[in-house]
Amino acid sequence: MLFMVQMTVKKPHDIDPAVWADIIAREREYGQKFMKNGKFPHIWRVVGKFSNVSIFDVESTDELHQILSNFPLFPYMEMEVTALAKHPSALN
Amino acid sequence: MLFMVQMTVKKPHDIDPAVWADIIAREREYGQKFMKNGKFPHIWRVVGKFSNVSIFDVESTDELHQILSNFPLFPYMEMEVTALAKHPSALN
Amino acid sequence: MLFMVQMTVKKPHDIDPAVWADIIAREREYGQKFMKNGKFPHIWRVVGKFSNVSIFDVESTDELHQILSNFPLFPYMEMEVTALAKHPSALN
Amino acid sequence: MLFMVQMTVKKPHDIDPAVWADIIAREREYGQKFMKNGKFPHIWRVVGKFSNVSIFDVESTDELHQILSNFPLFPYMEMEVTALAKHPSALN
Amino acid sequence: MLFMVQMTVKKPHDIDPAVWADIIAREREYGQKFMKNGKFPHIWRVVGKFSNVSIFDVESTDELHQILSNFPLFPYMEMEVTALAKHPSALN
Amino acid sequence: MLFMVQMTVKKPHDIDPAVWADIIAREREYGQKFMKNGKFPHIWRVVGKFSNVSIFDVESTDELHQILSNFPLFPYMEMEVTALAKHPSALN
Amino acid sequence: MLFMVQMTVKKPHDIDPAVWADIIAREREYGQKFMKNGKFPHIWRVVGKFSNVSIFDVESTDELHQILSNFPLFPYMEMEVTALAKHPSALN
Amino acid sequence: MLFMVQMTVKKPHDIDPAVWADIIAREREYGQKFMKNGKFPHIWRVVGKFSNVSIFDVESTDELHQILSNFPLFPYMEMEVTALAKHPSALN
Amino acid sequence: MLFMVQMTVKKPHDIDPAVWADIIAREREYGQKFMKNGKFPHIWRVVGKFSNVSIFDVESTDELHQILSNFPLFPYMEMEVTALAKHPSALN
Amino acid sequence: MLFMVQMTVKKPHDIDPAVWADIIAREREYGQKFMKNGKFPHIWRVVGKFSNVSIFDVESTDELHQILSNFPLFPYMEMEVTALAKHPSALN
């Protein structure tokens, strides 16, 4: 079951650079875990913004919130979640 | 080169049903042409709306506008176009 | 799996009253079918508006879109769909 | 008499973690008091956000404001309050 | 129990003047009924707009929706409903 | 001559509690002075928000700005001012 | 006492040209009456829009609404009214 | 002196195709007159929309409004006008 | 050539009062220089806000930006600039 | 291939002036590099704002994001990216 999640990161200007670098590293490791197990099939960078467009494939809304709210960057992110269904024109 | 295009159809209430059915049929045929040649790899229905989230893979912005503006439904659609780039966390 | 759906009806001023009355009747009958089978546990009227707040309990986003897009009033409605998860404070 | 209240928490980045943990604990205890006495029948987590959708059943608007404004998290929350009425299609 | 209701009338350009005049007349008569029985203590015209700011004093949200949705102008109005409570500084 | 003023207070998280308490006390005293002399006939709390809906009765826009801009809370408030006129349906 | 009124005209596409021309002519005549008696000291065209920025100098909000609501174009206009006061830096 | 003008065309669905085709032809001819005389140095199509981004080089705001308001498509267009100045980093 | 500029000041809560007082003083002196030389014919205070509506009469957009960006309060202000032209109904 | 990028700088009030001056200097040097190599043909200052309208001519969206995200001011900027195509009326 698919959801689009548009994430925008709002980095506090006065955050300690070392703290931030650690969060970013853990964020990538955490995300790639779900990319490898098929829960997180797509992620694209939005040009010109600290934002992405992501597609998640999950079993339930609870599972999706579990994944999203445990992103290390979650406290610094604004997320828009859009429920997706199969399009009548889609070939796959 | 990837673009997300979010399309919302605004169907006039007083349009002739036969005319509309013909437009919908031509729309599907037109779109699937590009799905088959790789220009239009993804399309998902937004739950609860006459809208979709589409991903296009094109060579230029002119080519993208050429494809989009010739959709039979184009005069009845509002489109938001978002330029996408490779995300540093993406595995593929 | 729960979703909140906020529906607002935009009634065309020049629609035939008999046609509209028929749509409303079919709408109620259609909705109550899902209320009885547990898919549609809550619906409340928003005071002062031709709108409602509804809670749906479904197995997938495709099922939700199937239900929503077949409401007789669907062509006259704007819908906002919000995916819900269990709240850590909830008792039930 | 029912009201929907959509609450979004805006956590200051530089708040003392111990202070925040205490507020969260008191918030849960305070909310569950009203869940038990029937004033607060529903609360759901909005997927991807530090937000909830809540339904309150109160005797007056003054009582509702009394409950809401005494939530420990109140100073850190934005609330949208929507007055609800019985929907003509509702079975219960 | 008080509610502010901000009403804006959207008059269709092509409506029959006689029909409209009749609606306006019934609207005034209907509203003044509630002004006389205390349910509708205040109504002011918003300068420069076909809008008003109204204060209603009702027993429940259901009663408020009953009053509002039976205004003859209801199908042509957009309403914003704000629940009000006693202000700590208020003298009365 | 009537104006509606909708005030929303944005309290800085890091302000000294004693300083804030003093501002609140002076704010109430200042407001009640105008309530007593008829310039400030109505104030209601907006349920769920640190906001109010106020009605002022003044001789000029300069007088209104004089009153509003000298509220002790003024630097922490966002105000929307709406000019009101007599409504044709109003009984009083 | 000064007010800024920003007016935007929304001309229906299907209105009879002769009817429209008559409204425009009466609109100019009506407005210039108040320009001559000092109630309407300024009017400027907003570049690129069928809009204007106007300054009115009136005795009361009731008088302002009386003037505005009797503009022949009133049914086709959206107006934003802003109450103005003397600026501390103003020389005149 | 430069201005950016972002124009969006809102084509009425029920307009006579021949009438519309004539307007489009006159629009192109009218615009190219100013492109040739240097008043209208840039025009680009916004991908996915019946919109453009245009740059005008004029002597005054009155001249700009004169040009814009006489576009044959003007009654069907929404325009956002942005005054531009030389950027400190610009090389030309 | 006329422009309307709507300025809103966003005063940081934690700024040194003496620093702020100095900026305000320099702001008034700077603005009045242009009021005296005719570049800045009108300024009005927006009731209830730390905002103003100003009219500038300049030779070019570059001159306008030069004036605006050198206001001492510029770093603390949000400005909306509207290009104005002569209105067909204007008498002067 | 052309893109419009509208950039708005949000300067933190409490940033060290020397740090800021250095960023600005590097920003200009960085931008002019691309102006000279044809990737960045246009940049204009938006009157009254710390914003610009820029036109980029790039080979891909990835290249555009690479350029934009490495602007020294990037962490302090909000960017709107608009994909542009050749306009049918354009002469060049």
For the stretch G23-36, pLDDT in tens is 999 999 999 999 99
Inter-chain residue contact H53 with J28, CB threshold 8 Å: no
Rounded Cα distance between B86 and C14, Å, is 50
Q: Would you list the domain boundaries of chain E?
A: 2-83
8 A C-beta contact, residue A49 and residue D32: no
Q: Is the pLDDT of residue A38 over 80?
A: yes
Residue of chain H with shortest Cα separation from J25: H89
**Average pLDDT for B50-77:** 98
pLDDT at res. E91? 92
pLDDT 10s digits, D31-76: 999 999 999 999 999 999 999 999 999 999 999 999 999 999 999 9
**How close D11 gets to chain A, by Cα (Å)?**
8
The verdict on D47 touching A (C-beta cutoff 8 Å) is: yes
Class of domain D2-83: alpha beta
**Burial of I64 (C-beta count, 10 Å sphere; 0-12/13-18/19+):** buried
pLDDT over 70 for what percent of chain I? 100
Confidence of residue H92 (pLDDT cuts 50, 70, 90): confident
Residues 6+ apart with CB under 8 A from C13: E12, E15, E75, E76
Q: Is the pLDDT of residue C37 over 90?
A: yes
Q: Give me the torsion for CA of G63, G64, G67, G73, rounded to 10°.
A: -160
Q: Is the pLDDT of residue E92 over 90?
A: no
pLDDT at res. F55? 98
**Burial of B56 (C-beta count, 10 Å sphere; 0-12/13-18/19+):** buried
Q: Is the pLDDT of residue I92 over 80?
A: no
Residues of B in contact with A52 (CB under 8 A): 87
Please write down the HEC assignment for all residues of chain F. CEEEEEEEECCCCCCCHHHHHHHHHHHHHHHHHHHHCCCCCEEEEECCCCEEEEEEECCCHHHHHHHHHCCCCHHHEEEEEEEEEECCCCCC
Inter-chain residue contact J2 with B86, CB threshold 8 Å: no
| Residue whose C-alpha is closest to residue C51's, from H52, D88, E18 | D88
**How close A20 gets to chain C, by Cα (Å)?**
28
**Average pLDDT for J66-83:** 98
Chains that touch H (3 or more CB pairs under 8 A): B, G, I, J
pLDDT 10s digits, G28-79: 999 999 999 999 999 999 999 999 999 999 999 999 999 999 999 999 999 9
Please tell me which of the candidates E68, E75, E80 has its beta carbon nearest to residue C11: E75
Rounded Cα distance between A81 and G57, Å, is 50
Q: Which of H81, H82, H84 to mutate to test the interface with G (most CBs of G within 10 A)?
A: H81
CA G89 to chain centre: 27
Tell me the C-alpha to C-alpha distance, in Å, between residue H86 and each of I65, J42, J52, J74. 9, 10, 10, 21
Rounded Cα distance between F85 and E43, Å, is 10
**How close C82 gets to chain A, by Cα (Å)?**
8
Q: Is the pLDDT of residue B92 over 80?
A: no
Inter-chain residue contact A3 with C81, CB threshold 8 Å: no
Rounded Cα distance between F52 and F80, Å, is 11
Chains that touch C (3 or more CB pairs under 8 A): A, B, D, E
Q: Is the pLDDT of residue A92 over 80?
A: no
Q: Is D touching G (3+ C-beta pairs, cut-off 8 A)?
A: no
Inter-chain residue contact J48 with I61, CB threshold 8 Å: no
Residue in the structure block whose two tokens are 């104006």: F3
> Please, where are the H alpha helices in chain B?
17-36, 61-69
Inter-chain residue contact A48 with J15, CB threshold 8 Å: no
8 A C-beta contact, residue J89 and residue J19: no
pLDDT 10s digits, J4-56: 999 999 999 889 999 999 999 999 999 999 999 999 999 999 999 999 999 99
CA F62 to chain centre: 15
Inter-chain residue contact A60 with C2, CB threshold 8 Å: no
Amino acid type, F21: A
User: How many other C-beta atoms are found inside a 10 Å radius of the C-beta of residue J78?
Assistant: 12
Q: Over chain G, what is the mean pLDDT?
A: 97
**Average pLDDT for E8-24:** 95
The verdict on H88 touching J (C-beta cutoff 8 Å) is: yes
pLDDT at res. I60? 98
- Bridge partners, J44 (sequence order): H86, J53
| Residue whose C-alpha is closest to residue A44's, from F38, I65, B4, C11 | B4
Residues 6+ apart with CB under 8 A from I86: G44, G45, H62
pLDDT at res. B13? 87
Amino acid type, H53: V
Rounded Cα distance between F68 and F83, Å, is 14
Rounded Cα distance between B70 and B79, Å, is 13
